[in-house]
């Protein structure tokens, strides 16, 4: 398994959750890629973390290449929803541990 993790702050929680949640705009796009598993949306009340799960880094990389234009379009459309955005990294499963 592979996960891309991001941390966000927002001034519009409802709209942010609609676009970044498990059934939101981003997840709908990701579902078009082979190897997409799910999106988790977590919050501590002041910030959000998204976890986008894929079967492998190769699947994620292929998705990003194949859907680069639409990814960029949605990113631009959602830019107004975020006050800050930070990649927490890309993580891969340690064999036999998860």
Residues 6+ apart with CB under 8 A from 33: 54, 59, 60, 62, 63, 66, 67
Residue 18 lies in a domain: yes
Q: What local confidence, expressed as pLDDT, does residue 94 receive? A: 86
Residue 98 lies in a domain: no
* Predicted structure pTM score: 0.91
Share of the chain above pLDDT 90, in %: 94
Q: Which domain holds residue 84?
A: 2-92
Round the average pLDDT of the chain to a whole number and report it. 95
Other CB atoms within a 10 A radius of the CB of residue 89 amount to: 9
CATH code of residue 43: 3.30.70.100
Instruction: List, for residues 25-64, the tens digit of each pLDDT value.
Output: 999 999 999 999 999 999 999 999 999 999 999 999 999 9
Q: Are 6 and 50 in contact (CB under 8 A)?
A: yes
Residue 97 lies in a domain: no
* Confidence check: pLDDT of 71 > 90: yes
């Amino acid at each position: 398994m592979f996960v891309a993790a991001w941390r966000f702050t927002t001034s519009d929680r409802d709209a942010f959750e609609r676009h970044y949640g498990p059934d939101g705009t981003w997840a709908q796009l990701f579902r078009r890629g082979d190897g997409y598993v799910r999106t988790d949306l977590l919050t501590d009340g002041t910030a959000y973390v998204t976890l986008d799960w894929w079967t492998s880094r190769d699947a994620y990389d292929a998705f990003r290449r194949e859907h680069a234009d639409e990814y960029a379009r949605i990113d631009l459309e959602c830019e107004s929803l975020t006050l800050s955005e930070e990649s927490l990294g890309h993580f891969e499963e340690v064999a036999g541990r998860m």
